Amino acid sequence: MLQAMQAKVEAEGATEKALYDQFMCYCATGGSSLSDSISAAETKVPAVSSDITEAEEKNAQTKDALKQAQTERAAADAAVKQATALRNKEAAEFAKLKIEADANIAALTKAVAAIEAGAAGGFLQTSAAQVLQKLTLTMQDESEKQEVLAFLSSAHATAYAPQSGQITGILKQMGDTMNADLMSATEDEKAAVKSYDGLMSAKAKEIAALTASVEAKIKMTGELSVDIVEMKQDLKDTEKALIEDKKFLADLDTSCKTKTAEWDERTKTRGLEIEALADTIKILNDDDALELFKKTLPGSSSFVQVGVNVASVRARAIAAIKAVQSKDHRAAVDFILLAIHGKAAGFEKVLKMVDDMMALLKREQQDDNDKKEYCSKQFDQMDDKRKALDRQYADENAAIESATEGISQLQDEMKALEAGIAALDTSVAEATEQRKQENVEFKALIASNTAAKDLMKFAKNRLNKFYNPRLYVAPAKKELSAEDRIVANMGSASFVQVSSHTSTETAPPPPPETFGAYKTSGKSTGVISMIDLLISDMDKEMTEANQEEKDSQQDYQAMMRDSAEKRTQDSKSLTQKGGAKADMEADLEATKGSKQETMRELSATLEYIQSLHGECDWLLMSFDARMEARTGEIDSLVKAKAILSGADFSLVQTAAQTRNLRSSK
């Protein structure tokens, strides 16, 4: 007990050391606002505590129900065995009764037939007559018994011819009675078989239902135990975080200093406690102390045996009881030994103690059987669950790697699309600027060529006016305004007046001869042809410029359409990939959360399996040895009881009882 206390104190110290180290780490790193975390934890702690309490109560109820179901199933198995043994015994008794009844009825039938046929003398020499004679000895009516015995003992049946009718009547009556008894016994046997079959069917259903209930409850208690471990771990983590967060928010610096001082004092106090426990253990384990304890152990005193026969019985019983090597019930065995040593009373009380001891051993063996079944099924279920969680953990790891790789690939594709869209926008801007420049140049060309063409046409028309008047095209007549008409009229009148005035005066002499008529240059035709050629070249150039402008505009518009479609597709693809990336990131976070949950569940399952090992390994490893030891202990107790009851216990009987005990389990 002291060593357990020491181990517990050390374990508590290790646990508190881990908490202190975490707290100091928290002090060193600091933290941001934890109000939301504290609020969530304060809400979660009572909820999880309530869930744990509810789950523990449910688990306790399930274990109680499991124990009850196992007990009921054991009782049902015992009832089946007991009913089967009783049925076998009744069947054997009926078979024996039927054989005897058939033989007796056959003998009576033969006797009646022989008497009625006058062959009684021959019948008396058969084995049936001997059967009939034995049967007659069981008759209740003395006079009838004597008549039949006299008939059977006579050497010649003719000597009783006058009484043959009476003998025949007695025998027929006996036959009728036996037939009636046999029919009644047969009906009883059929009824017993039917009742047994019904009982077996009902018990089979009951055992099957109880077995199913046991398995279901074992599975349920396993799942509840894992859930409880998970919730306790969750509660422990939450409470731990809550405590640390509150301490941090209250006063981090002061709390850390205070906690350091408290830890130093706590470490010192725990060291003193461990030292005290160690010293105490050392004192109690000292050789002198052990010798003292051996001398003062109960049962060390010897008792004087009085009486030769009683002493012999006591000695044999004590030897048998000492063969019981039970460590768990050493006190009870010692108490039985003390009771056997006692001389004030008889052995009735000792026999009662032995019976109680054997019943206790049988109950413990049944408990071990139930515990072994529970442990085996729990190990199977938890191993299956662990394997499933391992596979799930591997699948989630693979999913996380695949999602991470997919997100990275999508990011690269999105960067490529964004770069493509940016390059496309740049190309569109450059093409638009180029198209504008080309259009300005086209318009300038058309304007300059049109002006030059008009000028050339004007020059050609002017030349035609002189050189080719027929080809001259006069300018359109201009409509004069009222003011222009007045000016024109005034000018005409003045000219008339001058002319009138001049005609009245004397005419001058004619002018002297100078040169002949004017002859036009012969090169005018070439100049006009050149002008026509230049106009034609300008028309051709403008036609080509118009076609090039039209083609360039069409190409530009086609490029704009293609660029718009490409940009729309790339933008749509970028949006889709962004959505896919968001979905994959959400799935990745969900998978990470699921992975953490799987890790927690796997950790809880492994912890529960470890607790199962601590709870069950000792039983599974020592089950056969414990059962064999209990069998030997019960054999020893049975032998001691037989000795105290005056029985002679042989080796064969001991072996038979051992086999019976093992088969009953």
Residue 352 in domain: no
Which range (131-140, 540-549, 597-606, 617-626) has the least confidence? 131-140
Q: Which long-range contacts (CB under 8 A, 24 or more apart) does 425-429 make?
A: 425/567, 427/563, 428/559, 428/560, 428/563
The per-residue pLDDT for 128 is 64
pLDDT, mean of residues 65-83: 91
- Report DSSP letters for 113-128, one per residue: HHHHHT-HHHHTTSHH
Alpha helices in 118-163 (DSSP H): 120-123, 127-136, 142-153
Residue 152: inside a domain? yes
- Is 648 part of a structural domain of the chain? no
Structural domain includes residue 374: no
26 lies in some domain = yes
CB environment 393-424: b (16+ within 10 A), e (fewer): beebeebbeebeebbeebeeebeebeeebeeb
CA distance 339 to 644: 12
In a domain, 60, yes or no: yes
At 649 the pLDDT is 45
- Name every residue whose Cβ is closer than 8 Å to that of residue 116 and which is 6 or more positions away in sequence: 168
Q: Percent of the chain, pLDDT > 90? A: 13
Which domain range does residue 206 map to?
A: 2-283
**How many other C-beta atoms can be found within 10 angstroms of the C-beta atom of residue 228?**
21
Asked which of 52-56, 194-198, 205-209, 469-473 is least confident by mean pLDDT, the reply is 469-473
User: What pLDDT was estimated at residue 394?
Assistant: 93
Domain count for the chain, please give it. 1
Q: Which of 351, 324, 356 is nearest to 340 (CA)?
A: 351
List of residues 6+ apart from 98 with CB closer than 8 A: 182, 185, 186
pLDDT, mean over the chain = 76
**pLDDT of 84 above 90:** yes
pTM listed for this prediction? 0.47
The more confident residue out of 451 and 4 is 451
Residues 6+ apart with CB under 8 A from 244: 22, 23, 26
Mean local confidence (pLDDT), 104-120: 70
Quick check: is 181 in a domain?
Answer: yes
The pLDDT of 460-468, averaged and rounded, is 76
What is the reported pLDDT for 663?
Answer: 45
Q: What is the pLDDT of residues 387-399, one digit of tens each?
A: 999 999 999 899 9
More confidently predicted of 394 and 523:
394
Structure tokens at 159: 């000597």
Would you list the DSSP string of 272-328? Answer: HHHHHHHHHHHHHTSHHHHHHHHHHSTT-S-----SHHHHHHHHHHHHHHHT---ST
